[in-house]
Structure 1
Amino acid sequence: MKHLNKLFVAVAMFMGLSSQAQDSNNPWAISFGTNAVDTRVSAASSVQDQFSQYFNVNDYWNILPSVSYISVAKHVGGNFSFGVTGSVNRIKRWVEPRVTDPGDYTVINPGDLSYYAADGVIKYSIGGAFGWKYIDPSVHVGGGYTSMGKASYGTANGGLGLTFWFTEMVGLSFQSTYKYSFDNDSRIPEQNVPSHMQHFAGLTFKFGGKDTDGDGIYDKDDACPEVAGLKQFNGCPDTDGDGIVDGSDSCPDVAGLAEFQGCPDTDADGIADKDDACPEVAGPKSLNGCPDADGDGIADKSDKCPDVKGPKENGGCPWPDTDGDGVLDKDDKCVDVKGTVANNGCPEISEEQVNKLNAYAKTILFNSGKSTFQQQTYPVLQSIAAILKEYPSSNFSIEGHTDSDGKDAANQKLSEDRAAAVKNYLIENGIAASRLTSAGFGETKPIDTNKTKAGKANNRRVEVKLVK
C-alpha cells in the first residue's frame, strides 16, 4: 500500500502536465495493472542475445503481484496520444554477466530493491491508422525517471504495445518498453540504474467523450450535437419520420416525400401542399395547383365565369360585343354603333360623304386676303363638324388653295393660314386634334383657269381629304 500511495502521487503530478487526447471519441484513457522489470537486456553482449530470452519470466522478470502501474493519456490528433505512466516494483532478480563467460549470466538478489518510475509516453496507434476496431498495435517513444533502491537516473524509452478492445471503451493492454539508462558506467545495486525492459499488462478504460444531446453519438460525429437524433442521420432528428432529416425537411412536422423536400402532396397533383394554392384539389403547376374547369388558363377560384372560357383581362369571362358588329367591345372604338372590323368597329365614311364634305368646304368664305371667316360660313363649318363626328375613327387632312393673284410667298402663307383656321375651328367644336392635319399649297394646284374671275373663284378653295 505504501508503494501504491507513492505511485498515485507520481501519476497525479504528471496528470497535471498532460493536455492531449486519447482518441477522437473519448478524449481520455486510463490504464492500470501489473508490470515486470527485466534487467538482463543490458547485460547481454549483443542485440540478438538481448532478446533471445525475452519471455523467460521465471528466471529474469521481477513482478509485483498487485496493481503496480497506472497510466493516464490524452490524444494529440491523428493517431498520436501523449500520456504519463507511474509504476512500482521490487527488484529481486538482478542479472549480471559472468566474468569468465560473457555469454552467460548469473542472477542475484540485490536485497529487494524498491523500484519507482515515472515516464512520459508518445504513442502512435497503428490500428487507428488502418481503422481496425478491435485490435490496436502501437509503437511508442518517450522518457522518464527511474529509481532502483537509492540510485535514480533518467531514461530514454521506446517500445511496442497491443490492445484488444472488448468494447468501444474497455480493452486489455500489453506493452513492452526498453528503457535506456543514462547511467551505464557499471551495474552496482543501490548505485546504478542499468538499462532494462519493463513490461505492462492491464485494463484500459477510455472516457470523456462528449454527447451533449444524449443520443449516443459523440459531438464530433454528430451533425446536430445539441438536438437528439438518429445514427443513420449522423445524429440529426427526423421529427415526422419520413426519412428526411429536419434540417433538410421543408415540412419537418408533417410526413412528406423526398421529391418535395419532405413536404406532403395531398391532392397528388405534383405540387407540394406548402406551394399549392389549392392543396386539396388537383390542379396544374401553371395555376399553382388550382383547377381550371373551362381551360381558359384562369384558376376557377379567380375566374368570374369558371364554366365559360374567357380572357384574363376580363376576369375569365368572354368579351361582349354590344353593337353586334363582330368587333369586341375592348377593341371597338365605337361600342354602341355598328362598324367594320377594318375600321376598329366604327362605321367607315363613304365616298358620298367625302364628296359632301368637299361640297361644304367649297362654300367656306374668307374675308378678302385674310384667314378669318365670313359670317355666313359658320353654318357650313358646323355641318362639316357634324359629319366628322359620325366617323370618329376616320382622319382627315384640311388643304388650302389660292388663285394666282399676288406674290407666290404671300399666297402660300395665306393658304396655310386658311387651312389651319378650318382645322382649329373643328377642334374647338369637338373634333379630336389627333384626327386632323392641315396644309397649304398656295397657287400650285389650280382646278380652273386663273384668267377669268369665275376660274379664280374656283381656285380659291378648301378641300377635306380622307386620310387612309
Structure 2
Amino acid sequence: MKRLKLAMLAMVAFLAVNTVNAQDENNPWAVSFGVNTVDVRIPSEFGDYVKDYIGTSEWGDNTLPSISRISAERYLSDGFTLQLAGSLNKVKTVVAKDDSDLLYWAIDANVKYDLNSLFGETGWFDPFVYVGGGYTDLDTFGGEGMLNAGVGFNTWFNDNLGLSFQTGGKKEFADKVRDHFQHSLGLVFRFGGKDTDGDGVFDKNDACPEVPGLEEFNGCPDADGDGIKDSDDACPNVAGKAELNGCPDADNDGIADKDDACPNDAGTKAMNGCPDSDGDGIADNKDKCPQEAGPAENNGCPWGDKDNDGVKDNVDKCPDVAGVASNNGCPPEPVITEEATAKLNEFARAIYFNSGRSSFRPGVSGKLDLIAEIMAQYPEANFNIEGHTDSSGAASTNLRLSDKRAAAVVDYLIKKGIPAARLSSKGFGEDYPIASNATRDGRAQNRRVEIKLKK
C-alpha cells in the first residue's frame, strides 16, 4: 500500500510539472485523463502473441476503477508530437485469474506521428502511430527501461475536447518486467496556439491576425465601437449606423454625413441631404427665399433680384444697384459726406504750431472748434489725425515732434466732446512732403495736419 501511495504521488508530481507551464504561443498543447489496462501474459509463439493481444480476459482484472493514466503532449512540427505519460495499475491476472497482486507504474516518453499528414486532414479524426521509451516498475520484480511502439487515434467532439485511444506493446531488455501490452482510453483536451496580435483569438481562427480585434468579429477590429467591424465599416473611425455601413447621420435624415451637403439639417436625398422648406425644388442653402417658393431663375424667390444684393425687387428701392437691406436695397449712406470731409481738411490746413513745439499758435482754436462741430454731426465716422513736418532738423526729432502735434489735436477735440474711441493720431515726420523743402513756402506747406477717415 505504501508503494501504491508513492506511485500515486509520483503521478501527481508528474502532472504538475508537465501542465503548469503547458502553454506556448507558437505550439498547441494537449492533456489527457483516462484509464489503462495491462496485459502481461505473452507466450513465445507469435500466434499466441497475437491471440493474447486481442484477448480480453485480463482487461477487467488489470484495470483500476479510477483515473489511472495522465499524459501531456506538445506538437512539434510536420505531424510529430512529443508525448509524456504516467500510468498506474494493479496487475491481478498474469496467466490465470487472480494469480497475482502486483503494483504497476510507468513513465513514458513517446513521439507520435499524425497519419493525417499522409492521408489529409479529416478535422475530427486523427489516427497516429507512436514509438518511444520509458521506465516501468512491476512491484517486487523491480523496474527497467522499455521500448514502446503502438497506434491510436483522437476523435474530436469540438475544437478542444475529444476522446483518445492508444494501444501498443512494451519490449523489455533486462528481464525484470516481462514484455506486455498496454491499452488506454481517456478524454483529451487541447489548447494553446499562436496569437500574433495578442487579442485572445488564435491565428488559425483570426481573420485579422496582425491587428488586435474582437472575438465576435473573428479577431478583426471595430475601432469606433459601433458593432460593425472595420473591414465592413465605411466610416471605421466614427461610430455610425448599420444601415449606413457604419457611418453617422447627425440629422437622422437617412443620408450619411459624408454624403450629406447639410449634415446638421434634415433633408432629402434629392437635395443631397439638404432641406427645401418652401418645396420649390431649390435647397434652402441655395435658396435666397427659403420660406417662399420661387423659380430657379429668381434664385428661389417669387420676385427677382436683378442686382443680386439679397433684397427682392418688389421691395428694393434701388433694384438696379446693389445695396443693403438696412437701406431698402440701396447702397449704404456714407458715414460722412464728401463736402464735410473737404471742410475738415480745409480747417486742418489752418492749424499752426509754435516753432519747434506742439503748442498751437494764436487763432488756431477757432479752426479746431469748427472741426469738432463737423465731427459731432457724423457720430458714425472715426478719424485718424496725422502730423507732418518739413525736413529742417534731425529726422528723429521731426518724427517725435509730428507725433506730439497730432496728439495735441486729438486732445483738444476730446475736450470738445468728441469720444476718444473715434480718434487716433500718428506722426510721420518729414517722410511725406507735399511740396519742396528747398523753399520757405514749400516747407510751410509740409508743416501740416491731415484728417483721414478711418475705414
Match of 2:74 among 68, 77, 89: 77
Match of 2:347 among 360, 365, 373: 360
Change over 3 Å in CA distance of 1:90–1:447 after alignment to 2: closer
The aligned residue for residue 284 of structure 2 is: 307
Name the CA distance, whole Å, in 2 between partners of 1:11 and 1:408: 115
Structure 2 letter corresponding to 1:198: H
The aligned residue for residue 425 of structure 1 is: 412
Change over 3 Å in CA distance of 1:353–1:339 after alignment to 2: farther
Name the CA distance, whole Å, in 2 between partners of 1:295 and 1:58: 86
Change over 3 Å in CA distance of 1:137–1:449 after alignment to 2: closer
The aligned residue for residue 18 of structure 1 is: 14
The aligned residue for residue 28 of structure 1 is: 32
1:392 counterpart SS class: coil
2:150 counterpart SS class: strand
Structure 1 letter corresponding to 2:284: D
1:27 counterpart SS class: strand
Match of 1:160 among 131, 149, 157: 149
Aligned-pair distance for 1:137? 1.3
2:14 counterpart SS class: coil
% identical aligned pairs = 14
Please tell me whether the aligned partners of residues 18 and 83 of structure 1 are also in contact (alpha carbons under 8 angstroms). Answer: yes
1:179 aligns with 2:168: no
Match of 2:133 among 132, 138, 141: 141
Name the CA distance, whole Å, in 1 between partners of 2:55 and 2:399: 136
Please tell me whether the aligned partners of residues 385 and 424 of structure 2 are also in contact (alpha carbons under 8 angstroms). Answer: yes
Q: Can you list the C-alpha shifts for 1:30-77, whole angstroms capped at 9, x where unaligned?
A: 23345144364xxxxxxxxxxxx6454389999782324444122053
Name the CA distance, whole Å, in 1 between partners of 2:101 and 2:419: 129
Structure 2 letter corresponding to 1:179: E
The aligned residue for residue 297 of structure 2 is: none
Aligned-pair distance for 1:178? 0.6
Select the structure of larger CA radius of gyration.
1
The aligned residue for residue 125 of structure 1 is: 112
1:18 counterpart SS class: helix
Q: Can you list the C-alpha shifts for 1:216-246, whole angstroms capped at 9, x where unaligned?
A: xx8758x9xxxxxxxx899x886xxxx7899
Aligned-pair distance for 1:160? 0.3
The aligned residue for residue 276 of structure 1 is: 249
Name the CA distance, whole Å, in 2 between partners of 1:62 and 1:277: 76
Aligned-pair distance for 1:123? 2.6
Aligned-pair distance for 1:459? 6.8
Name the CA distance, whole Å, in 2 between partners of 1:298 and 1:434: 50
2:347 counterpart SS class: helix
Aligned-pair distance for 1:162? 0.9
Aligned-pair distance for 1:135? 1.2
Aligned-pair distance for 1:163? 1.4
Please tell me whether the aligned partners of residues 356 and 401 of structure 2 are also in contact (alpha carbons under 8 angstroms). Answer: no
Please tell me whether the aligned partners of residues 161 and 173 of structure 1 are also in contact (alpha carbons under 8 angstroms). Answer: yes
Aligned-pair distance for 1:157? 0.8
What are the ranges of 5 or more consecutive residues in structure 2 without an aligned counterpart? 76-80, 196-204, 208-213, 277-282, 289-307
Structure 1 letter corresponding to 2:186: F
Match of 1:198 among 176, 180, 195: 180
Change over 3 Å in CA distance of 1:298–1:15 after alignment to 2: closer
Structure 2 letter corresponding to 1:83: G
Name the CA distance, whole Å, in 2 between partners of 1:371 and 1:435: 17
The aligned residue for residue 38 of structure 1 is: 42
Change over 3 Å in CA distance of 1:374–1:256 after alignment to 2: closer
Change over 3 Å in CA distance of 1:237–1:265 after alignment to 2: same
Name the CA distance, whole Å, in 2 between partners of 1:199 and 1:177: 6
TM-score, scaled to structure 1: 0.54
Aligned-pair distance for 1:401? 6.7
1:66 aligns with 2:39: no
Aligned-pair distance for 1:158? 1.2
Name the CA distance, whole Å, in 2 between partners of 1:432 and 1:245: 68
Counterpart mapping for 1:210-249 below 5 A = 248=222
Structure 1 letter corresponding to 2:128: D
What are the ranges of 5 or more consecutive residues in structure 1 without an aligned counterpart? 41-52, 94-111, 184-192, 210-217, 224-231, 312-317
Change over 3 Å in CA distance of 1:125–1:355 after alignment to 2: same
Aligned-pair distance for 1:180? 1.6
Name the CA distance, whole Å, in 2 between partners of 1:294 and 1:61: 81
Change over 3 Å in CA distance of 1:384–1:176 after alignment to 2: same
Change over 3 Å in CA distance of 1:35–1:233 after alignment to 2: same
Change over 3 Å in CA distance of 1:115–1:270 after alignment to 2: closer
